[in-house]
Amino acid sequence: MLAGLDAEARRLASTTITDLIREDPARASDFALRCGGLYANFARQRYGRAALDALFAIGERAELMVAMRRLLDGALVNPTEGRAALHSALRGDNSTSQVAVEARAQAVAAQARMRVLIEQLEASDVTDIVSVGIGGSDLGPRLMVDALALHDARFKVHFISNVDGNAAQRVLAGLDPKRSAAIVISKTFGTQETLLNGGIVRAWLGNDERLYAVSTNAERVAAFGVPPERTLPMWDWVGGRYSLWSAVGFPIALALGMDRFLELLDGAAAMDAHAATAAPRGNIAVWHALTAVWNRNALHAATQAVLPYDDRLKLLPAYLQQLVMESLGKSVRIAGGAVDVDTVPVWWGGAGTDTQHSFFQALHQGTQIVPADFIGVLRADHPHAQNHAALLANLLAQTEALANGQDSDDPHRHYPGNRPSTLLLLDAVTPHAVGMLVALYEHSVYLQSVLWGINAFDQFGVELGKQVASRLLPALQGDAEADDAVTRALLREFSQRG
């Protein structure tokens, strides 16, 4: 299906982004789209109109819009696990199918329970919340709390994810257990890191009455010491990396307030509607997915940078690493055969302008071309107007400099340019806008998986290392305080395994 892209790339090999823009003045407006408070511009990507036509033709053959409808309607889009992927039902009524309507009813009921628990905590003397989880049970809530929590929020939310005991120790050191509550979040309630950290926090609290849980496994939760009235549900039709919109977002709702949490869901629901109903040529999710496939399979870019120019979004690259690479890091097609093209590139990035003083040297003059998503915010929400002007100037300057480069007689000062980027602008960092932005990436990831014929919703590659670790663990538990014994056990285990 993607075979024609190489021919298009060869045809454009001697045409630069600068050439494309100069020869097509309408490109800046024609390659720009808006959905509510989110603006996207693809004019500085390395494709012309003919290549774009070829991409949209591929999308039509792949029936991307049909695939979007199947996702929202609760079809079996995760066949290797026999599941739907109904995270969209957590945030809106974008389907009339029975399975989606039933899922939506469960989500609304869980939201009502969240509100009751929040009101109970607000009436208590609790000031701090410790959220214990890992992966999808941590990255989404952590991102949203960091981006959206208000300075005068009723609760301050703290996160523990890493099994390294230093992580728990550093978070708990500054808190008063008598004025704290904790949430243990695990889909199966069998995740080793979460249970170990949950045990530390439970002992530190000294009072199970301020212990809450979010899980699908009520039996294990009860055995851990959390009763049903302080347990919120998860469902197998929501994958971990898509779960921040569910009760996994309990820490978000505590940090933002329930009403602002619902605004976050509304923003994601608006992007659901856009992705499912906007014609492909006016559909940001379709453009984003096709652009990603072009950069990977036509330009053969091995990595992708994501560069938010707002400090409140600094955790977005880490969040997207899981969303994109866990979803698309597959080499087997859904039917079981090998994928015959490259799938996901390595995603990485950081917040501007800090990153301009670290890895931007490689972006401008390195031997490998790295496509980039630049994310900016028009409204600052702070009184430092000169700082915000400088921030936006740097954002726009970098996209221009990467595209156009600059010639010089001194080869060390030559900038080759022709480095592709997409510009995404939020009107403001609001719950609604950030919900739209994250949902955009979710749908782009799914549509890429459709184009590659892979399953975006399983993650079997996560399991092998954990299984090996569970076999190694008994060799290390005999004398946990003796460093030399641990070292000898490690060396012995590795020497036996080769």
Amino acid at 60: E
209 as an active site residue: the answer is no
Which two tokens mark 344? Answer: 């996901």
CB 240 within 8 A of CB 87: no
- Least Cα distance to 72 among 250, 236, 215, 237 occurs for 237
Which two tokens mark 253? Answer: 């709702």
In whole angstroms, give the CA distance from residue 97 to residue 280.
23
How would you class 99 by CB atoms within 10 Å of its CB: exposed for 0-12, middle for 13-18, buried for 19 or more?
middle
Give the DSSP letter string of 221-260.
HHHHT--GGGEEE--TTS-GGG-TTTGGGHHHHHHH-HHH
Beta strands in 133-210 (DSSP E): 156-160, 180-185
List 151, 357, 382, 412, catalytic entry: 357
CB 213 within 8 A of CB 230: yes
In the chain, what's the furthest Cα-to-Cα distance?
Answer: 72
263 as an active site residue: the answer is no
178 as an active site residue: the answer is no
In whole angstroms, give the CA distance from residue 233 to residue 223.
16
What does the radius of gyration of the chain's CA atoms come to, in whole angstroms? Answer: 24
Torsion of CA 237, 240, 243, 246, to 10 degrees: 70
Residue 57: strand, helix, or coil: helix
Nearest-5° Cα angle at 95, 94 to 99 = 135
- Least Cα distance to 137 among 186, 88, 92 occurs for 186
- Least Cα distance to 2 among 295, 200, 215 occurs for 295
Residues carrying an active site annotation: 326, 357, 466
